Amino acid sequence: MKNIYSVLLLGQFLGCIQSHVIELDQSFLERKNEGMWLVEFYAPWCGHCKKLEPIYHQVSVTLKSHPVRVAKLDCTRFSSVASAFDVAGFPTIKFINGDKVYTHRGERSEEDIVEFVKKASGPPVRNMASIGKFNEGKQEHRDGVFFFYAGDGNFENDLYKKYSNVADKMAAQAYFYAGTEKTLPKDVKPAKIPTVLVFKDQAWFEYSAPDTSMSSLERWINGERFTSFPKVSGGNINDMAESGKSLVMFVVNPEDREKFDLTHRIKDVGKTMAVKYREIFHSDFQFLWMTDVETVNSITMAFLATPVILVLNTQTHFFYFPDFVISDITIDKMSDFLNKVREEKIEPHGGTGFFQRLKRIFYDIFTTVISIWQSSHWLFLFMFGLPTAVVSIVCYSICCMEVTEDSQEEDSEFDEEEEYLPPEEIDQETENLQSSKPFHEKSD
């Protein structure tokens, strides 16, 4: 009896969780302006969507007191809605507030999705009016990144307008604050006022590009909105690619006890390169580490084993492997390798050529088939087994029909050959026919 009650309570609990997620349909195109929405665009057969489902439900529970409405939409049933929001893959999570639409490009974890909503739903530029507020913000973002416009109280100048425009465009990707010079702590002394600062890695850096155009400011913010050596998953790669930098990827497996020391040595070298060698490599490279080897396999269209070190040029889609054995990694060898990549003195792989695109098609088909098989054997058999059986039956029928027609033609030819008579027999047969004419027929 207790077990029955436990099952019922669990069912009620799961039902409550599920009730927070709104199932959308075609009418969402008319309802999208009714406040703020967090929408997951999914496909029922997608394995990644199924993996996200319990996480997304928990997000809806966490945000139940937030004004944003958490919903999802089946793109296989309502493809026109998915097309209207430029959905190109599954799952895709978007924050929609009227005409403002932001796509979540970070990790698909509860914390990351909730953080995405907090950024997108707040004002693009948040005000910091005192040192106390500044310290609170710094504490809140101690492990992350935030930008700060420091001015003289005049928020009508050209730099602030550019900063505000960039913040409005990138509201879901970073935190933007503004205040006066007096808001800053005493140990933060910018070279000029007004200016834009970034705070990360327990340090701060100032925007100092000679070109003060909006595009220049946006490039600088794009290049600074990640910590020096973050841990990322496959979902962050596309977001980081927008920085325009080459990505230096250290892929390790912390659970591999046999390579425990090597894993830590690789990460130490990567962090040292990113932090202590910032002035040398930061303008061209974004360092990161990850445990998701499938992302690297997708980039290289291969099946690699950890540890892997890869440099990806996000503009040309070329990638580079180290010219040294990974187990012999040192800071000097890594520095030499990155300099060769920067100077194009090392052989590239990949790219966007015809054969690479063709290879990508076959690789995507193969991995999609494997994904469907892993998510549902029955769906795999229905999608591939049934059509294969139908095609086989049709081909067999066609082959049998051709054999039958050939045999009929041969029989026809054989019959014609049997009816053939020599000329002399034909003449004799003609005379016999003439002699057997009815008596009432008249001859010529």
Let me know if the fold of 124-224 is the same as that of 234-352.
yes
CA–CA gap between residue 422 and residue 356 (Å, rounded): 71
pLDDT level of residue 223 (50, 70, 90 thresholds): very high
**Under 8 Å between Cβ of 108 and 52:** yes
Fold of 234-352: Glutaredoxin (3.40.30)
Per mean pLDDT, which range of 34-43, 252-261, 324-333 is the poorest?
A: 252-261
Which are the contacts of 219, defined by CB distance < 8 A and separation ≥ 6? 244
Residue 325 or 394, more confident:
325
pLDDT score for 427: 56
Give CA–CA dist 136/254, Å, rounded: 34
Residue 319, pLDDT score: 96
Give the C-alpha separation, 406 to 297, whole Å: 52
By C-alpha distance, which of 157, 169, 158, 156 is closest to 147?
169
Model pLDDT, residue 435 = 52
Bigger pLDDT: 80 or 390? Answer: 80
Where is average pLDDT lowest: 109-113, 160-164, 422-426?
Answer: 422-426
**pLDDT of the residue at 414:** 46
Whole-number Å distance between alpha carbons of 268 and 219: 28
Instruction: Provide the percentage of residues in the chain whose pLDDT is more than 70.
Output: 82
Return the HEC string of 321-389.
Answer: CCCCCHHHCCHHHHHHHHHHHHCCCCCCEECCCHHHHHHHHHHHHHHHHHHHHHHCHHHHHHHHHHHHH
Q: What is the CATH number of domain 124-224?
A: 3.40.30.10
Give the residue numbers marked as catalytic: 46, 49
Whether pLDDT at 226 is above 50? yes
Q: CATH second-level architecture of 15-119?
A: 3-Layer(aba) Sandwich (3.40)
Query: What tokens were used for 16?
Result: 């409550």
Q: Where are the domains of the chain?
A: 15-119, 124-224, 234-352, 357-384
| pLDDT of residue 19 exceeding 60 | no
**pLDDT tens digits for 179-210?**
999 999 999 999 999 999 999 999 999 998 87
pLDDT in tens, 367-382: 777 766 666 666 666 6
pTM of the model: 0.75
pLDDT at 12: 46
pLDDT, residue 371, reads 67
Q: What pLDDT digit, counting tens, does each position of 290-342 carry?
A: 998 988 999 999 989 999 999 999 999 999 999 999 999 999 999 999 999 99
Residue 2: predicted pLDDT: 46
Asked whether the beta carbons of 258 and 303 are under 8 A apart, the reply is: no
Sign of the dihedral through C-alpha 222, 223, 229, 234:
positive
Q: Give the mean pLDDT of the chain.
A: 84
Residue 442: the pLDDT is: 44
In contact, 211 and 281? CB cutoff 8 Å: no
